[in-house]
Amino acid sequence: MAYAFPSPRKRRRLQDWEENEGDIDIEQYLHRTDPFRSIGFANPDPMALQVTTITTEEDPTYHLHHEIYNTLDRHDLITLLNYYSLSRFQIKVIDVDHFYIPTLFPIHSTAELAIAFQYRKDEIIRVLDETFGTKWQLLSPFNIGNDARSARPALFVGVPPSTNANWHWLQGQLTYQLASHISPVFADVEFLPGKLSLQ
């Protein structure tokens, strides 16, 4: 059974956790505040995995070993990796039911969040400019989720990777701006790192 993206209430509890106060990298903030982004890399990518730790005696892929080796042979991946001298890298096997890629979907102009954003846009931009200067890349309301059916309205703020800020404080400021026009339940804010390229 697929798990739904964490509820707004659960996410807010994690975002309000006192250990998230103070300046930290965006990736570290996302790693702490969203259990579906928990991965084992030292510098976690915000694309999400929920990790299950097991002992080596429990190898759940044992019955798949033959199929894995056949796949490697069929696509000649070993030769390709050796050609590029890629012999030491970390591999993650994911369960697609526990995988979350935040995807942006259009939001209707009559949605409560879109209307609140239009009223409070100048104040929100002022807060972002005071926090980041010119480092923030995108600000817009979207429906955000794994797919269009499960996506929920949220104010999207795109920043470059490794951006350092007090995300807890910023979340509160942006939510406060939106909540002056709509119920705080609908005033969700989503920070995501990445590089913006317009082609």
Mean pLDDT score, 45-64 = 57
- The reported pLDDT for the residue numbered 12 is 54
- The reported pLDDT for the residue numbered 124 is 96
The pLDDT tens digits for 6-34 are 555 555 555 555 666 788 888 888 877 76
Determine the CATH number of domain 23-36+100-193: 3.30.429
Q: Which residues pair with 191 in a beta bridge?
A: 157
Separation between Cα atoms, residue 87 and residue 118, nearest integer Å: 51
Mean pLDDT score, 91-115 = 77
Residue 73, number of CB atoms within 10 A of its CB: 11
- The reported pLDDT for the residue numbered 162 is 87
Greater confidence, 78 or 14? Answer: 78
- Strand (E) or helix (H) holding 112: helix 112-132
pLDDT > 90 fraction of the chain, expressed in percent and rounded: 25
Q: Which residues pair with 156 in a beta bridge?
A: 140, 190
Name the pLDDT band for 181 (thresholds 50, 70, 90): confident
> Is the confidence at residue 37, as pLDDT, over 80?
no
- The reported pLDDT for the residue numbered 35 is 58
- The reported pLDDT for the residue numbered 127 is 96
- The reported pLDDT for the residue numbered 88 is 67
- The reported pLDDT for the residue numbered 16 is 56
Q: What are phi and psi of 110, to 5 degrees?
A: -95, 0
- The reported pLDDT for the residue numbered 69 is 77
Strands 48-49 and 138-145 turn out to be: unpaired
Report the predicted TM-score, pTM, of the whole model to 2 decimal places: 0.64
> Is the confidence at residue 92, as pLDDT, over 90?
no
Domain extent listing, the chain: 23-36+100-193, 39-99
> Is the confidence at residue 56, as pLDDT, over 60?
no
- The reported pLDDT for the residue numbered 117 is 94
- The reported pLDDT for the residue numbered 68 is 76
Q: Which of 5-19, 67-81, 86-100, 154-168 has the lowest mean pLDDT?
A: 5-19
Separation between Cα atoms, residue 189 and residue 191, nearest integer Å: 7
